[in-house]
Structure 1
Amino acid sequence: MSQYSGKVVFYEGQCFTGRKLEVSGDCDNFQDHGFMNRANSIRVESVAWLCFDHPDFKGQQYILEKGEHPDFQRWNAHNDHMGSCKPIKMYGKQYAVKLFRGRSWLEHCMSSGLLQTIGFSKNCLGSIKVYGDGAWVMYEEPNYRGRMYIVERGNYCSFMEWQAENPNIQSSVGWSTISKPLNPAAWL
């Protein structure tokens, strides 16, 4: 098993009841596997997973780390819609990101509850380049709040490529195979 393959089990009912769907790699449409687009509980057996409330890796994103999630409120969802998922690709220990706004850019490798405090004067990003070993979680609001977006190693030329509704990003957290959990609110 590679570093970023794993296993996750989705259940139709709360507390791991009802029909289930076991996934061990990218799954672009739960309905193709006979599972309706509803998940009320999830058991993540290995690695972290990026889940989407619509098929084809579209819609609201949710990060699910190893462990048990007995109801959809545990992963901060507003409803039980779930349509696709994929493991988050983690390569090792080092990670960095370049944030671009027009011709100016900022490179950083530490989490930031407010990007303005590390020198990025505007919250409107033009593009992102993620390099190194880890992934980044970008948040629309300061202090790791609001809609979140995962960006893995690669280039993202516009906010649409990281599945955002707009280019506003105000906080970010880097994550590698040895980092703290992806939920920074738990760190405070």
Structure 2
Amino acid sequence: MLDDVRSSQLHGKSEYSEDRNFQGRSYECMGDCGDFSSYMSRCHSCRVESRCWMMYDRPNYMGNQYFFRRGDYADYMSMFGMSECIRSCRMIPMHRGSYRMRIYERENFMGQMYEMMDDCDSTMDRYRMSHCQSCHVMDGHWLFYEQPHYRGRMWYFRPGEYRSFSNMGGMRFMSMRRIMDSWY
């Protein structure tokens, strides 16, 4: 029992059920899963026991993204207004330390650049930038939102260089939030 608790704290743990209210077949996940179809035909409820997770409505971490913290989601589709059920998931590692990234006005790190170390509820209000088209995440894990004040569709960014957002389904990001260790 103690080993199970330690393992879920280190690796994360989430459980997915075919039907609402945790009914039907279920699948327990302790890390990234690129495709639920070999474990269940559909997924309509989930329970996040530890860590934070990004859920995707298509296999292989594609499609719309949804952020889940620890908790029970007996009917997440109604809660989040989703039209498709979860098809893949990715665990977000905990990050302790500073957060730092650069956002750019244009693709390929061109145009105006701003360095961020905290949340930004509106790039227009803070930087007079209607949206950014590329970024370089140096430290931490971030959620980008298509509308100001952390609304609309979201996208998860981990450390790395993102030269162009044009291949992200036409997303235009206007607010950013750090994924804090206090959320876990």
Tell me the equivalent position of 1:93.
97
3-state SS, counterpart of residue 117 of structure 1: helix
The TM-score with structure 2 as length reference comes to 0.85
> How many residue pairs were aligned?
174
Tell me the equivalent position of 1:174.
178
Q: As a proportion of its length, which structure holds more helix? A: 2
Tell me the equivalent position of 2:159.
153
**C-alpha distance 75-173 of structure 1, shift in aligned 2 (>3 A):** farther
Contact 2:8 2:30 in 1 (8 A): no
Contact 1:99 1:105 in 2 (8 A): yes
Over residues 7-66 of structure 1, what are the superposed CA-to-partner deviations in whole Å (9 max), with x where a residue is unaligned?
Answer: 10001111111110111111101113x212x22111001100111001010001011111
Tell me the equivalent position of 1:65.
69
Cα distance, 1:158 vs structure 2? 1.1
Give the letter aligned to residue 129 of structure 2: S
The TM-score with structure 1 as length reference comes to 0.84
**C-alpha distance 70-173 of structure 1, shift in aligned 2 (>3 A):** same
3-state SS, counterpart of residue 68 of structure 1: strand
Contact 2:77 2:85 in 1 (8 A): no
> Which deviates more, 44-53 or 114-123?
114-123
Mind listing any 5+ residue stretches in structure 1 that lack a counterpart? 182-188
Cα distance, 1:97 vs structure 2? 1.7
Tell me the equivalent position of 2:4.
none
Mind listing any 5+ residue stretches in structure 2 that lack a counterpart? 1-6
Over residues 134-177 of structure 1, what are the superposed CA-to-partner deviations in whole Å (9 max), with x where a residue is unaligned?
Answer: 2111111111111100101111111156xx21251111111231
**C-alpha distance 9-79 of structure 1, shift in aligned 2 (>3 A):** same
The sequence identity of aligned pairs, in percent, is 29
Cα distance, 1:90 vs structure 2? 2.4
Contact 1:94 1:176 in 2 (8 A): no
Contact 2:146 2:172 in 1 (8 A): yes
Match of 2:150 among 144, 149, 159: 144
Contact 1:64 1:75 in 2 (8 A): no
**C-alpha distance 25-157 of structure 1, shift in aligned 2 (>3 A):** same
Contact 2:9 2:50 in 1 (8 A): no
Contact 1:30 1:84 in 2 (8 A): yes
Contact 1:51 1:82 in 2 (8 A): yes
**CA distance in 2 between partners of 1:141 and 1:97 (Å):** 19
1:56 aligns with 2:60: yes
Over residues 74-95 of structure 1, what are the superposed CA-to-partner deviations in whole Å (9 max), with x where a residue is unaligned?
Answer: 6514235111111012221321
3-state SS, counterpart of residue 55 of structure 2: strand
Tell me the equivalent position of 1:83.
87
**CA distance in 1 between partners of 2:40 and 2:79 (Å):** 20
Tell me the equivalent position of 1:185.
none
Give the letter aligned to residue 113 of structure 1: D
